[in-house]
Every structure is written in C-alpha cells, then in structure tokens.
Homo-oligomer: A and B are copies of this chain.
C-alpha cells in the first residue's frame, strides 16, 4: 500500500495534530492523534516517520495561512506604520477567540524546548519570517534602527500572545499604544 492510496488519512492526521497539540500540548500521545484522525498507527507511520515529523508537517501546512491572516496585502498603499499596526490588529482579533491559547508557533517552541526538533525548526522559521516583515517595513518607513525595531515588535507580538494565551491580560487598550510608543521612538510616523 502506498501513501497515495490513502489521501484522506494524511489530511486528517495533520488536522488532528494541529488541533490536539494546540489544545492539550505536545505530549499528546500517538494513540490519541490516530484515534481522533480515524487512522491506524500502522498507517500513520507509513505517512510520517514520527510524531515529531507529523507535528512539524502540521505546522508547516498552516504556515502560509497563518502569515496571510496576519500580513497586509503587498500593495495596499498604506504607510509602513499602518502596515505594522495591521499585523497587531489581526493578532488582537485572533486572541479574542474562545479557544485562543497563544500563537501556536511560540507555544510549540516553549513546550518542546529542543531547538533541533523538526517542529521547533518550522516554528522558528515562521517567526523569523514575521520578524523579516517587520524589519522590511521598518526600513521602508525610515526607522532610526530597523533591526532594533523589528526585534522590539516581535517581542511585543510574542509577549502579547503568550499573556493573552494564559488569560493574564485581555490585550484591550494595551497593544496599540505599546506598538505606537516603539514606532514613535524609532521615528516611524
């Protein structure tokens, strides 16, 4: 039996991995993932080398949609300041959903703790891409220190996501003035 013979199994496993590891943590067992996906363990191991590879693939599969949901259109004619604020507005809206527990690309790195884990590598790259967006907009906007500003923005992004995920803060009235203060300090008007 080739992997091509079970096209639905792969998608169901990716969906179960994304949903259950986010809800319950990365230590969810292979049995629970296979049960939720309606796929045998034998079939799972034909499709993925390990649970780690399945998790990495599920993060990779969602990466494009994650970035598309956050970033503005490439040619929306808004200023870099507005385009940066757009990302935080979108993130704030996502954090308002009932099952939000923080950005999955941050949480998985905190839980796995191993920089060499395949899922951590995927998550790290996704966040690097978001930092690169901030860096490009900072430069475009003439920031006095685009590298520093990009690092500050991803720091605020991850901090806000983590704190909203653990229900430590509602984010309301917090993120916009924080980002504005940093943009002001970098002379991005």
Contacts and interface: CB of A to CB of B under 8 A. Distances in A.
Q: Which of A152, A162, A169, A173 has the most chain B CB atoms closer than 10 A to its own CB? A: A162
A25 B27 contact: yes
A102 interface: yes
B152 A174 contact: yes
Q: How many copies does the complex hold?
A: 2
B177 A148 contact: yes
Contacts of A154: 163, 168-169
B127 A162 contact: no
A113 interface: yes
A113 B169 contact: no
A110 B107 contact: yes
B109 A111 contact: no
A139 interface: no
Given A156-B159, A160-B155, A113 B185 contact: no
Contact of A163 (B23, B111, B158): B158
Contacts of A168: 109, 124, 127, 154, 158
30 contacts: A23-B113, A25-B111, A25-B113, A27-B27, A101-B110, A101-B113, A106-B162, A106-B166, A109-B168, A110-B166, A111-B111, A115-B166, A124-B168, A127-B168, A151-B169, A152-B177, A152-B178, A154-B163, A154-B169, A155-B156, A155-B159, A155-B169, A158-B168, A159-B162, A162-B162, A178-B182, A181-B182, A181-B185, A182-B182, A184-B185
A157 to B, nearest CB: 8
Contacts of A25: 27, 111, 113
A55 to B, nearest CB: 14
